[in-house]
Amino acid sequence: MIPPVIQDLRALAELEAHGVEFDLERARLSSTSPMTDALASHVSFGNMGAETFVLYTHGRKRHPLGVVQARLRKNRPEADITFIAPSLEYDPDAVTTWYRLLAEATNSFGEMGVQRIFAQLPGGNGAEEVFRQAGFTTFTREDIFVMSREGIAARAHKNVNVTLRRMRKRDAWNVLRLYSAITPRNVQHAEAMRTTEGALGKLDDWWENLNGTSYLFERPLDGTNALAGVVRVTRGRLASWVRLHLHPNALHYADEMVAEMIALVSKTRARPIYVGVRDYEGGIRAALQAAGFAFEMERSHMVKHTTVRAREPVPWLAPVFETPNVTAIHTSQHSREVKGNAG
Protein backbone atom coordinates (compact mmCIF):
# COMPACT_ATOMS: atom_id res chain seq x y z
CA MET A 1 0.00 0.00 0.00
CA ILE A 2 1.48 3.35 -1.03
CA PRO A 3 0.27 6.95 -1.26
CA PRO A 4 -1.20 7.63 -4.69
CA VAL A 5 0.85 9.07 -7.53
CA ILE A 6 -0.22 9.62 -11.11
CA GLN A 7 -0.02 5.94 -12.09
CA ASP A 8 -2.24 4.99 -9.13
CA LEU A 9 -5.14 7.03 -10.48
CA ARG A 10 -5.81 4.29 -13.03
CA ALA A 11 -6.27 1.81 -10.18
CA LEU A 12 -8.60 4.19 -8.39
CA ALA A 13 -10.64 4.69 -11.55
CA GLU A 14 -10.95 0.91 -11.91
CA LEU A 15 -12.15 0.41 -8.30
CA GLU A 16 -14.19 3.58 -7.81
CA ALA A 17 -17.42 2.27 -9.32
CA HIS A 18 -17.45 -0.72 -6.94
CA GLY A 19 -16.75 1.08 -3.66
CA VAL A 20 -18.66 2.37 -0.65
CA GLU A 21 -19.02 6.09 0.11
CA PHE A 22 -19.00 6.78 3.86
CA ASP A 23 -19.08 10.58 3.72
CA LEU A 24 -22.85 10.78 3.27
CA GLU A 25 -23.00 14.48 4.09
CA ARG A 26 -20.65 15.56 1.30
CA ALA A 27 -22.25 13.12 -1.12
CA ARG A 28 -25.69 14.63 -0.51
CA LEU A 29 -24.50 18.25 -0.52
CA SER A 30 -22.13 18.41 -3.47
CA SER A 31 -21.83 14.98 -5.16
CA THR A 32 -18.02 14.73 -5.07
CA SER A 33 -16.12 11.61 -6.17
CA PRO A 34 -13.12 9.65 -4.81
CA MET A 35 -11.14 10.62 -7.89
CA THR A 36 -11.82 14.31 -7.25
CA ASP A 37 -10.75 13.89 -3.62
CA ALA A 38 -7.54 12.12 -4.63
CA LEU A 39 -6.60 14.94 -7.00
CA ALA A 40 -7.63 17.69 -4.58
CA SER A 41 -5.42 16.30 -1.81
CA HIS A 42 -2.39 17.57 -3.73
CA VAL A 43 -3.66 21.16 -3.69
CA SER A 44 -1.54 23.12 -1.24
CA PHE A 45 -4.29 25.28 0.27
CA GLY A 46 -7.43 24.60 2.27
CA ASN A 47 -8.72 21.38 3.78
CA MET A 48 -9.42 19.76 0.43
CA GLY A 49 -9.36 16.21 -0.79
CA ALA A 50 -8.54 12.98 1.01
CA GLU A 51 -5.46 10.87 1.64
CA THR A 52 -5.62 7.88 -0.70
CA PHE A 53 -3.92 4.50 -0.36
CA VAL A 54 -4.00 1.72 -2.95
CA LEU A 55 -3.40 -1.96 -2.11
CA TYR A 56 -1.72 -4.10 -4.78
CA THR A 57 -1.01 -7.84 -5.04
CA HIS A 58 2.60 -8.60 -4.10
CA GLY A 59 3.53 -4.98 -4.72
CA ARG A 60 2.78 -5.23 -8.43
CA LYS A 61 0.97 -2.12 -9.60
CA ARG A 62 -0.83 -3.91 -12.43
CA HIS A 63 -3.10 -5.76 -9.96
CA PRO A 64 -4.95 -3.36 -7.60
CA LEU A 65 -6.90 -5.12 -4.84
CA GLY A 66 -8.47 -2.21 -3.00
CA VAL A 67 -8.35 1.44 -2.05
CA VAL A 68 -9.16 3.44 1.07
CA GLN A 69 -9.49 7.21 1.50
CA ALA A 70 -9.62 9.35 4.63
CA ARG A 71 -9.89 13.10 5.12
CA LEU A 72 -7.76 14.83 7.75
CA ARG A 73 -9.58 17.15 10.14
CA LYS A 74 -8.45 20.74 10.37
CA ASN A 75 -6.34 21.55 13.45
CA ARG A 76 -7.18 18.15 14.99
CA PRO A 77 -5.10 14.92 15.16
CA GLU A 78 -8.03 13.08 13.56
CA ALA A 79 -9.21 11.70 10.23
CA ASP A 80 -12.45 10.36 8.75
CA ILE A 81 -12.69 7.29 6.51
CA THR A 82 -14.60 8.53 3.47
CA PHE A 83 -14.37 5.74 0.87
CA ILE A 84 -13.32 2.11 0.57
CA ALA A 85 -13.38 -0.30 -2.37
CA PRO A 86 -14.37 -2.85 -3.40
CA SER A 87 -17.68 -3.22 -1.58
CA LEU A 88 -18.55 -6.33 0.40
CA GLU A 89 -21.32 -7.10 -2.06
CA TYR A 90 -19.11 -6.80 -5.15
CA ASP A 91 -16.13 -8.93 -4.12
CA PRO A 92 -16.43 -12.10 -1.97
CA ASP A 93 -12.83 -11.54 -0.79
CA ALA A 94 -13.45 -7.90 0.14
CA VAL A 95 -13.50 -8.63 3.88
CA THR A 96 -9.82 -9.61 3.83
CA THR A 97 -9.01 -6.64 1.63
CA TRP A 98 -10.78 -4.28 4.04
CA TYR A 99 -8.80 -5.65 7.00
CA ARG A 100 -5.53 -5.03 5.21
CA LEU A 101 -6.59 -1.59 3.99
CA LEU A 102 -7.74 -0.46 7.44
CA ALA A 103 -4.69 -1.87 9.21
CA GLU A 104 -2.25 -0.19 6.83
CA ALA A 105 -4.22 3.06 6.85
CA THR A 106 -4.16 3.08 10.66
CA ASN A 107 -0.38 2.61 10.68
CA SER A 108 0.15 5.28 8.03
CA PHE A 109 -2.05 7.84 9.77
CA GLY A 110 -0.44 7.03 13.12
CA GLU A 111 2.95 7.89 11.64
CA MET A 112 1.44 11.19 10.45
CA GLY A 113 0.43 12.03 14.03
CA VAL A 114 -3.25 11.16 13.68
CA GLN A 115 -4.58 9.84 17.00
CA ARG A 116 -8.18 8.99 16.14
CA ILE A 117 -9.77 7.66 12.95
CA PHE A 118 -13.55 7.98 12.60
CA ALA A 119 -16.00 6.22 10.30
CA GLN A 120 -19.73 6.75 9.74
CA LEU A 121 -21.12 3.50 8.40
CA PRO A 122 -24.57 2.78 6.93
CA GLY A 123 -26.37 0.00 8.72
CA GLY A 124 -27.45 -3.35 7.36
CA ASN A 125 -24.62 -4.34 4.99
CA GLY A 126 -22.08 -5.95 7.34
CA ALA A 127 -19.62 -3.06 7.19
CA GLU A 128 -19.89 -2.30 10.91
CA GLU A 129 -18.86 -5.83 11.87
CA VAL A 130 -15.81 -5.71 9.60
CA PHE A 131 -14.75 -2.38 11.09
CA ARG A 132 -15.29 -3.75 14.60
CA GLN A 133 -13.01 -6.71 13.85
CA ALA A 134 -10.47 -4.19 12.53
CA GLY A 135 -10.37 -2.44 15.91
CA PHE A 136 -13.06 0.24 15.54
CA THR A 137 -15.60 0.85 18.33
CA THR A 138 -19.17 2.10 17.93
CA PHE A 139 -19.80 5.07 20.22
CA THR A 140 -23.23 6.20 18.96
CA ARG A 141 -25.82 5.62 16.25
CA GLU A 142 -27.68 8.17 14.16
CA ASP A 143 -30.92 8.32 12.18
CA ILE A 144 -31.00 10.41 8.99
CA PHE A 145 -34.23 12.21 8.07
CA VAL A 146 -34.97 14.13 4.87
CA MET A 147 -37.53 16.67 3.70
CA SER A 148 -37.91 16.85 -0.09
CA ARG A 149 -38.39 19.99 -2.18
CA GLU A 150 -42.08 19.12 -2.40
CA GLY A 151 -42.33 18.93 1.39
CA ILE A 152 -40.65 22.30 1.73
CA ALA A 153 -42.96 23.83 -0.90
CA ALA A 154 -46.00 22.50 0.98
CA ARG A 155 -44.93 24.50 4.04
CA ALA A 156 -44.29 27.72 2.13
CA HIS A 157 -47.63 29.20 3.21
CA LYS A 158 -46.79 28.89 6.90
CA ASN A 159 -45.76 32.16 8.50
CA VAL A 160 -43.01 31.34 11.00
CA ASN A 161 -41.28 33.98 13.09
CA VAL A 162 -37.58 33.04 12.97
CA THR A 163 -35.84 34.04 16.20
CA LEU A 164 -32.65 32.07 15.55
CA ARG A 165 -29.52 34.22 15.69
CA ARG A 166 -26.02 33.47 14.43
CA MET A 167 -23.51 32.21 16.94
CA ARG A 168 -20.73 34.59 17.99
CA LYS A 169 -17.37 33.78 19.57
CA ARG A 170 -18.56 34.94 22.97
CA ASP A 171 -21.28 32.25 22.84
CA ALA A 172 -18.73 29.41 22.77
CA TRP A 173 -18.82 28.72 26.51
CA ASN A 174 -22.61 28.41 26.60
CA VAL A 175 -22.57 26.15 23.53
CA LEU A 176 -19.92 23.97 25.19
CA ARG A 177 -22.09 23.68 28.31
CA LEU A 178 -25.06 22.71 26.14
CA TYR A 179 -22.96 20.05 24.39
CA SER A 180 -21.92 18.69 27.78
CA ALA A 181 -25.52 18.57 29.02
CA ILE A 182 -26.74 16.71 25.92
CA THR A 183 -23.87 14.35 25.12
CA PRO A 184 -23.10 11.17 27.11
CA ARG A 185 -19.63 10.89 28.63
CA ASN A 186 -18.57 7.99 26.41
CA VAL A 187 -19.35 10.06 23.29
CA GLN A 188 -17.47 13.07 24.70
CA HIS A 189 -14.44 10.85 25.27
CA ALA A 190 -14.71 9.32 21.79
CA GLU A 191 -14.88 12.76 20.20
CA ALA A 192 -11.99 13.95 22.43
CA MET A 193 -14.13 16.70 23.92
CA ARG A 194 -13.59 15.41 27.46
CA THR A 195 -10.32 14.16 28.91
CA THR A 196 -9.93 11.05 31.04
CA GLU A 197 -9.63 13.40 34.02
CA GLY A 198 -13.10 14.76 33.27
CA ALA A 199 -12.14 18.20 31.95
CA LEU A 200 -13.97 19.58 28.92
CA GLY A 201 -11.91 20.28 25.83
CA LYS A 202 -11.73 23.22 23.47
CA LEU A 203 -14.88 23.79 21.40
CA ASP A 204 -13.50 25.91 18.56
CA ASP A 205 -11.49 23.36 16.55
CA TRP A 206 -13.94 20.49 17.08
CA TRP A 207 -17.00 22.63 16.24
CA GLU A 208 -15.29 24.07 13.17
CA ASN A 209 -14.82 20.58 11.71
CA LEU A 210 -18.58 20.09 11.71
CA ASN A 211 -18.76 22.69 8.91
CA GLY A 212 -21.60 25.12 8.35
CA THR A 213 -23.08 27.97 10.37
CA SER A 214 -24.47 27.78 13.90
CA TYR A 215 -27.65 29.53 15.02
CA LEU A 216 -28.71 29.84 18.65
CA PHE A 217 -32.22 29.00 19.81
CA GLU A 218 -32.96 30.94 23.01
CA ARG A 219 -36.01 30.34 25.17
CA PRO A 220 -36.99 30.69 28.85
CA LEU A 221 -35.50 27.90 30.96
CA ASP A 222 -35.89 27.81 34.75
CA GLY A 223 -37.37 31.30 34.73
CA THR A 224 -34.58 32.94 32.70
CA ASN A 225 -33.93 33.39 28.99
CA ALA A 226 -31.20 30.88 28.18
CA LEU A 227 -29.63 28.84 25.41
CA ALA A 228 -32.20 26.13 24.72
CA GLY A 229 -30.65 24.77 21.56
CA VAL A 230 -28.31 25.17 18.61
CA VAL A 231 -29.10 24.68 14.91
CA ARG A 232 -26.06 23.83 12.78
CA VAL A 233 -26.66 24.35 9.03
CA THR A 234 -24.34 23.30 6.21
CA ARG A 235 -25.52 24.45 2.79
CA GLY A 236 -24.46 22.72 -0.40
CA ARG A 237 -25.18 22.91 -4.10
CA LEU A 238 -27.67 20.04 -3.97
CA ALA A 239 -29.06 20.11 -0.43
CA SER A 240 -28.65 21.35 3.13
CA TRP A 241 -27.49 19.28 6.11
CA VAL A 242 -28.66 20.15 9.63
CA ARG A 243 -27.77 19.09 13.18
CA LEU A 244 -30.14 20.05 16.00
CA HIS A 245 -28.93 20.30 19.59
CA LEU A 246 -31.72 20.74 22.16
CA HIS A 247 -31.30 21.02 25.94
CA PRO A 248 -32.90 18.13 27.88
CA ASN A 249 -35.03 20.67 29.79
CA ALA A 250 -36.25 22.27 26.56
CA LEU A 251 -37.80 19.29 24.77
CA HIS A 252 -41.20 21.02 24.78
CA TYR A 253 -39.66 23.57 22.35
CA ALA A 254 -38.71 20.89 19.78
CA ASP A 255 -41.59 21.68 17.40
CA GLU A 256 -40.78 25.41 17.49
CA MET A 257 -37.08 24.82 16.80
CA VAL A 258 -37.80 22.49 13.88
CA ALA A 259 -40.31 24.96 12.37
CA GLU A 260 -37.80 27.84 12.64
CA MET A 261 -35.04 25.68 11.17
CA ILE A 262 -37.12 24.82 8.10
CA ALA A 263 -38.07 28.47 7.58
CA LEU A 264 -34.46 29.58 7.93
CA VAL A 265 -32.92 26.94 5.64
CA SER A 266 -35.55 27.22 2.89
CA LYS A 267 -35.60 31.01 2.92
CA THR A 268 -33.20 31.47 0.00
CA ARG A 269 -33.76 28.36 -2.12
CA ALA A 270 -35.80 25.17 -1.76
CA ARG A 271 -33.31 22.30 -1.55
CA PRO A 272 -33.81 18.98 0.23
CA ILE A 273 -33.02 19.22 3.96
CA TYR A 274 -31.21 16.34 5.70
CA VAL A 275 -31.14 16.12 9.49
CA GLY A 276 -29.01 13.73 11.54
CA VAL A 277 -30.37 12.73 14.96
CA ARG A 278 -28.21 10.70 17.33
CA ASP A 279 -29.70 8.01 19.54
CA TYR A 280 -29.35 10.09 22.74
CA GLU A 281 -31.05 13.20 21.29
CA GLY A 282 -34.59 12.64 22.49
CA GLY A 283 -37.63 14.61 21.38
CA ILE A 284 -36.23 15.67 18.01
CA ARG A 285 -37.37 12.64 15.98
CA ALA A 286 -41.04 13.15 16.82
CA ALA A 287 -40.82 16.86 15.95
CA LEU A 288 -39.18 16.11 12.58
CA GLN A 289 -41.76 13.50 11.66
CA ALA A 290 -44.61 15.78 12.71
CA ALA A 291 -43.16 18.47 10.41
CA GLY A 292 -43.08 16.09 7.44
CA PHE A 293 -39.55 14.67 7.49
CA ALA A 294 -39.15 11.07 6.30
CA PHE A 295 -36.73 8.54 7.75
CA GLU A 296 -34.02 7.63 5.25
CA MET A 297 -31.41 5.46 6.97
CA GLU A 298 -29.49 4.60 10.12
CA ARG A 299 -25.75 4.80 10.45
CA SER A 300 -23.15 4.03 13.12
CA HIS A 301 -20.39 6.35 14.35
CA MET A 302 -17.17 4.43 15.01
CA VAL A 303 -13.68 5.37 16.15
CA LYS A 304 -10.28 3.71 16.32
CA HIS A 305 -7.32 5.02 18.28
CA THR A 306 -4.01 4.76 16.45
CA THR A 307 -0.60 4.03 17.87
CA VAL A 308 0.97 7.27 19.06
CA ARG A 309 4.52 8.16 20.00
CA ALA A 310 5.43 8.44 23.66
CA ARG A 311 8.72 9.23 25.38
CA GLU A 312 9.84 6.49 27.73
CA PRO A 313 13.11 6.30 29.68
CA VAL A 314 15.15 3.16 28.93
CA PRO A 315 18.47 2.06 30.44
CA TRP A 316 21.60 2.41 28.37
CA LEU A 317 24.55 0.24 29.39
CA ALA A 318 27.96 1.94 29.26
CA PRO A 319 31.18 0.00 29.93
CA VAL A 320 33.88 1.63 32.12
CA PHE A 321 37.58 1.00 32.65
CA GLU A 322 38.44 -2.15 34.55
CA THR A 323 40.29 -1.97 37.86
CA PRO A 324 42.16 -4.90 39.38
CA ASN A 325 39.77 -7.66 40.38
CA VAL A 326 36.77 -5.36 39.71
CA THR A 327 34.62 -5.03 36.61
CA ALA A 328 31.89 -2.36 36.76
CA ILE A 329 29.07 -1.34 34.45
CA HIS A 330 27.36 2.04 34.88
CA THR A 331 23.72 2.43 33.91
CA SER A 332 22.71 5.78 32.44
CA GLN A 333 19.17 6.96 31.78
CA HIS A 334 18.52 8.06 28.24
CA SER A 335 15.26 8.60 26.38
CA ARG A 336 14.13 7.22 23.10
CA GLU A 337 10.86 7.38 21.22
CA VAL A 338 8.81 4.21 21.37
CA LYS A 339 5.36 3.38 20.14
CA GLY A 340 2.61 2.73 22.63
CA ASN A 341 -1.05 1.94 22.09
CA ALA A 342 -3.30 4.96 22.60
CA GLY A 343 -6.43 2.95 22.93
In angstroms, the CA 54 to CA 52 distance is: 7
Return the pLDDT at 264: 95
Asked whether the predicted pLDDT for residue 113 surpasses 80, the reply is: yes
**Identical fold at 8-135 and 144-300?**
yes
C-alpha dist (Å) from residue 22 to 27, 194, 277, 319: 9, 26, 17, 57
Shortest CA distance to 90 belongs to which of 165, 17, 23, 163?
Answer: 17
Asked whether the predicted pLDDT for residue 130 surpasses 70, the reply is: yes
- Mean pLDDT score across all residues of the chain: 82
pTM of structure: 0.82
For 8-135, CATH number out of 3.40.50.12780, 3.50.50.60, 1.10.1060.10, 3.40.630.30 equals: 3.40.630.30
- Could you tell me the residue ranges of all domains in the chain? 8-135, 144-300, 310-341
Return the pLDDT at 133: 95
Return the pLDDT at 313: 55
For 144-300, CATH number out of 3.40.630.30, 3.30.930.10, 3.40.50.2300, 3.40.50.1000 equals: 3.40.630.30
In angstroms, the CA 150 to CA 300 distance is: 29
Asked whether the predicted pLDDT for residue 207 surpasses 90, the reply is: no
Return the pLDDT at 198: 46
In angstroms, the CA 269 to CA 237 distance is: 10
94 close to 86: Cβ distance less than 8 angstroms: yes
In angstroms, the CA 76 to CA 74 distance is: 5
Mean pLDDT of 73-87: 91
135-158 pLDDT tens trace: 999 999 999 999 999 999 888 778
Asked whether the predicted pLDDT for residue 50 surpasses 70, the reply is: yes
In angstroms, the CA 288 to CA 305 distance is: 34
In angstroms, the CA 86 to CA 20 distance is: 7
